Each structure stands twice: as structure tokens, then as C-alpha cells.
Amino acid sequence: MQHNWINIQYRLVSPSFVVPTSPNPVDPLAALNDAQRQAVEHGVKDGDTRPLLIVAGAGSGKTNTLAHRVAHLIRHGADPARILLLTFSRRAAQEMERRAETVLAGVQRGVVSLPWSGTFHAIGARLLREYAPRIGLDEAFTIHDRGDAEDLMGLVRHELGLDSTEQRFPKKGTCLAIYSRAVNGQEPLDEVLAQFFPWCAQWEAELRRLFAAYVEAKAEQNALDYDDLLLYWAEMMGEPSLAEGVGTRFDHVMVDEYQDTNRLQARILLAMKPQGQGVTVVGDDAQSIYAFRGATIRNILDFPKQFEQLARIITLERNYRSTQGILDVSNAVIEQAKERHAKKLWTEIPTKQKPRLVLVPDEAMQARFVAEQVLNLREAGIALKSQAVLFRASAHSAPVELELMRRDMPFVKFGGLKFLEAAHVKDLLAILRLAENPKGKMAGLRVAQLIPGIGPGTAQRLMELLSTAAEPNAAIEAFQPPHQSREDWVRFAELFKSLRAPGLAWPDDTELAMRWYLPHLDRLYDNAPVRRGDIEQLQQMAKGYPSRERFLTELTLDPPEATSDRAGPPLLDDDYLILSTIHSAKGQEWTSVHVLNAVDGCIPSDMSTGSGAEIEEERRLLYVALTRAKSYLQVIMPQRFYVTQQRGVGDRHLYAGRTRFIDEATVKHFEVMGWPEVEGQGVSTSKAAQPVIQVRQRARAAWG
């Protein structure tokens, strides 16, 4: 028997799309609980025009609810092309489309296509190109990734002579972080410096001059950075006619993970839909943990009163991930928060094992405990991939990593080399970016120096020529490189001309660029065969995009996670343990979770206790860690730490106290245990209980 959901025949096309219905329609919302159903049906039949806030607790089916709402709207006549779906990754948008399609499959056939789904930055880039003539931009602008933005900041810093001061001026990465914080947070520079970068406060005047020059440099090169995509979109929405024009293009605006938005993103949303009609945001204030990126919890806390009409709030409290025991611990932690949208997670999943609060002597014993517990669970049928070790800071996992390596246990640590940070990937993309925008200084400097015999000075001279050239092809051909580079330069000039040829069909660009680059790859890098895999993968990825511009834009805004450089020995095993910072673990789930260093100084970090807001975010961070676990949760407390290089007192042991977020009332929800267990409490550790090995006898036997 063939079901209707298998028989997908064609794509929904806007504005005139046809939706054939099933002769025996089923209720596509039957699997939803009451709260989810209310959220999905809001405003569809009842005429309720209020904005909708869905406060979705951890594991409460947030993504499923939003996908059902998209499907429900389409089923009841909404035009998919008039739905704006804003997510925090391209993959999340694709997953939303897939789920909406699955929901609709039982009642109608077709493929759900949401042309206006993607990240804030990606949608912003599309709108800026479309409205470029009206807002003073050249639509052919290129987008700098973080690496290129840092390099440009460093170049401007050098040109202003700020790298030759008698006192240490902030590095380029710090300068960009300050700039980004001020832009995304919409805060005055002096307040940003005082609150987040106090060691840089003395340079306020110089930083203002640097940032002004940095903005000017981007304009000269027709380039935008990540922050510009939101800033310029927000500025565009500051013009009432443009804001109305963009707002009326969409009947429904939906935002996922709203607790992770910054002030610019909230400003954009409010300007597009000041009345709030058709606005739906989904998020969990208890999982707002990205303040260091400029996100503010105020957006989701203040959302109900931000529009001309009060928002409707629907809270999803039923959890489909964790056992009730784990939820009891999580609820007890977050109930202490000073300000929040009240909710209490519950589930029908029975508790297999009460969460454990484990006291261990030190970090070395913590590592041993984790390794033994992971192996025990593996023998019980829980794969290593279904287990995770979470920690506040990356350095906290070092003893665990050593113990895992000692036991030959494969593991992967989240946060390796990012795809776009790999030098060879940046090389190839720079070639394509220079062809797309010959005024792009960072791309040009990088490409020119790939050619043997060309250094920074010659590359700078080339970019000065291109910045004023009316015809880039002629400028490249007329350029006089050093004598030893002329043969290679001729080949590059031919490549540049080919890449800018009007009749070149995408993605032939990548084939031409790769063919020219591979000899340089072999010359520049010792591990060229490994890196070649990334280049080939990049070429394959290019086939999934309609044009060079879309490829460069979307790859920059939503890059792949990792490169082949990371595919080391751990990944050769078909199963491996997950090690991750809590920040990187958000959105993930595992059957078993070990949380390391549940002591003051680690959780909360002693670097994040300067204000009440910072402490509250640390509380939410612990909450996120606890709610990643499905069946087994171990929160581990080392009682002693060995610290080194303590000025005045030297190396010494320090004794730790339990994290302030697990008070006496919360402890009651744990099974408190010590490890290793002493004799009489379970596993005996006495020497008499251990087998005796006669080593001398074995040594004699070896020789006959």
C-alpha cells in the first residue's frame, strides 16, 4: 500500500500555486499536545491578529511546533512566498521546510518551498542587494567573513600608525570585537569599553578614529562585514516608506531562537511589523546564553509589550526529551532566576536513574570517573555517540582528554578548525571573490601573494591600481609584476579574464579557479593531499547554488562546521565520545551527560561574576547543560584543584565549593555520592581485596 506522503510530485509555486487535497484527509495536528495546537492555530481561523510569543521549554518540541504552524498556514491559504522565516542557520531553515512538508504530506501533495527562509544575515544580504540603489549601496558588494574583517581592521590599524605606539594598543581581533559589540548592542562606545573591555578604555579616542577609517575602507572596497548586514538592514527600516514596503511583502514573519537575538534584530522586526500582526517568535528565556555575541535576554522578556497590541503568550511545558528526575533538577535551578517567563517542565517519561551529584577528590579522579562511567554505559548498550561530556570552558576538558587517550577511547571535541578558517579554503574563495569584486582589497592581497615572487608591497601596488581602474581586466594585463613572477602572472591574468567573462556558466568558475590553484596548493602546503579534499568538496558544494554571488554570500554567512584537517584518528572509529563546551552543546541532546566542574569559579566562571546579569546568564548556562540529558545525568564536583604560577604563593592546592546554583533545596533532587567508594559502601578499594600477582615467579617462568 502506497501512502500519500510518499507520492510527492511537484513544487508549490508562488503566487499561483495549486494544492491538491487528499480524498480522505487526516488531522495533521493530531500528534500535537493542547499547548502546541493552540500555538499552531493562533490567528488562522479566529481572526486573532496579536503577535504570538511561544515560550518553548527545553525539549518541548519547539521546532516541531513551528514547522506545524508553517504547514498549517500554507494549508489554509497562506502564500509560501509571503512567509518570512528567520532562523540561526541555513540548515535549521531547511529542516523546517522538510518537517512542514512531512506535516502536509498526509493531506496534500507537493514540496514545500519557502523562498524567504534563512538566517537574519542571509535575508539581510538579499534585501540589501535588492534595495541597493535606494540606500546608496552598490549591489555587487562582497561580504567579509570574520577573518577578512579582522585582517582589514589590522590593515587600517597599521595605516593609522596605531601599531607603533609606546603603549600596547588592542590587537585587531579585540578591535573588531569592540566594534561588533557596539554595533550589535546599539550601545555607545564608552559604555561598551567600560563594561566589557575596561583594559582598552584609555584608547577610546583612537578606537573611534580606527572604526571611522575601517568603515571608510569597507566603502572604498565595496565590502560589508557581518555586522553591516544587520546594521544597514536596520537603518533601511528606519525609513518609513522602505519599512512599510518590506513589511507588506510578508503576511507572516516567524523568528526561531528569539532569545538569541540582539537589539538590531529586534529593531528590524519591530520596524517591519509595528502592529505585530502576523509575527510569531519562538524561544526560551532560560536558554539565553550568548550575551558575549551581543544577544540580549531583554528581547524575549520585553516582547509582549513591544508592539502596538499586546502579544499572546503560549507556554510549552511538556518535555519529550528527559526523564522527570532530570527535569526536577533543571526546574529547581532555573526557578531561582530573578526574571523569567514562568514555566515548569514536566514529562511522562519515567526516571530510570536519579540524577547524580558526584563528589570526587580532584580533577584527575574526575577524569577517571567519567571514563569508567562512559565505558559502563557503553557495555549496557549506550553508544559512545549517545554520551557527552560538557564543560564551561574548553580548558576544563584537558584531564579528561588525557585519560581518554590513555585508555584508547575515541572522542571528538566540538569547536575544531572551522571550514572557512582553513588557509587553503580561504585561498580558493579569495580567487572567486576577487573576480566578483576587483576592489576587494583583502581578497586581492591574498590572491596576489599566492604567485611566487610577489610580496605584500607588490600586492598593495596591484590593489591600488585596481581600486581606480575603469576596466579591471585591462589593469591586470597591464600590471608589471617582478621579473621572476611574469610567467605565473600571465597565467593568472588569463584566469582572471576567464572568470569575468560574461558568458561563463556557473559553476565552471570553481573548476577554472581550482585548476589554477592546485599547483600552488602543492607548493605551499606539506599536507596538500588532505587539503585537496576540502577543495574538491568546495567544488561539489558550489553546484548547489544558482550563482557565484549566492555561493560566496551564503557560504560566508553559514559555513560548514569543519575541514578534513579535523578528520584525525578519533574519527576513524565508527563510534566516539562527544566532548563539548556548554555553549556548543545548545540544541543537542544525548542519552547520558556528564557535567564537569560544578563548583564556584567554574560554573559560574570567576570571569563572569562582575554583575547580576552575568551571574544570571551563568545560571542559564548550567540549565542548558542539565537539559541536554535524556536518561542519565552526572554532575561532578572536584573538591580540590591544583593551580600553578600563583604569584606570591607559588603552586598550591585550592579547595572548591559547590556551585551556588545548586542550593540545598536543589540537592534534594540528586542522588549524592562520593567516588571512589570506600569499603562498606559498594565497591571495595582495599588492597586485600585485590588479586596478588607474583611478578618474580612470572619473570623466572619467562626464561624456562
Q: State pLDDT tens for residues 166-196.
A: 677 888 989 999 999 999 989 999 999 998 8
Torsion, Cα 317 321 323 329, to 10 degrees, reads -60
Residue 559 has what pLDDT? 65
Cα end-to-end distance, the chain, whole Å = 73
Q: Give the position of cell 536518561.
A: 631
- Coil, strand, or helix at residue 635? strand
- Distance, in Å, from the CA atom of 636 to the CA atom of 363, rounded to the nearest integer, reads 10
Helix, strand, or coil (residue 166): coil
Task: Tell me the C-alpha distance between 624 and 602, whole Å.
Answer: 15
Cα four-point dihedral sign 316, 322, 325, 327: negative
Mean residue pLDDT of the chain comes to 85
153-to-132, 137, 442, 454, 556 alpha-carbon distances in Å: 24, 21, 10, 23, 18
Give me the half-sphere count of Cα atoms (radius 13 Å) on the Cβ side of residue 465.
20
Low-confidence spans in the chain with pLDDT less than 70: 1-26, 106-111, 165-166, 415-420, 530, 558-573, 642-653, 678-700, 702-704
Is the previous residue joined to 507 through a cis bond, with omega within 30 degrees of 0?
Answer: yes
The per-residue pLDDT for 328 is 96
Alpha helices of 380-440 — where are they, by DSSP H?
398-406, 423-436
Nine-digit cell at 376? 559502563
pTM here?
0.79
Pairwise CA distance, residues 20 & 538, whole Å: 39
Give the whole-angstrom CA distance, residue 285 versus residue 340.
Answer: 7
DSSP 315: E
What is the predicted pLDDT for the residue at 387?
96
Helix (H) or strand (E) holding 473: helix 472-478
332/327 Cα distance (integer angstroms): 8
The residue count of the chain comes to 704
CA 143/CA 218 separation, integer angstroms: 10
CB-based burial label for 196 (10 Å; 0-12, 13-18, 19+):
middle
What are the respective helix, strand and coil percentages of the chain, to the nearest 5?
Answer: 50, 15, 35
Nearest of 499, 616, 507, 493 to residue 555 by alpha carbon: 507
Write out the DSSP string of 568-612. -GGGGSS--EEEEEHHHHTT--EEEEEE---BTBBTTBTTS-SSH
What is the rounded CA–CA span in Å between residue 20 and residue 263?
42
pLDDT of residue 34: 95
Residues contacting 278, CB < 8 A, separation 6+: 43, 49, 250, 251, 252, 253
Q: 380-393: per-residue pLDDT in tens?
A: 999 999 999 999 98
Q: How far apart are CA 568 and CA 529, in angstroms?
A: 14
Cis ω for the linkage preceding 676 (within 30 of 0)? yes
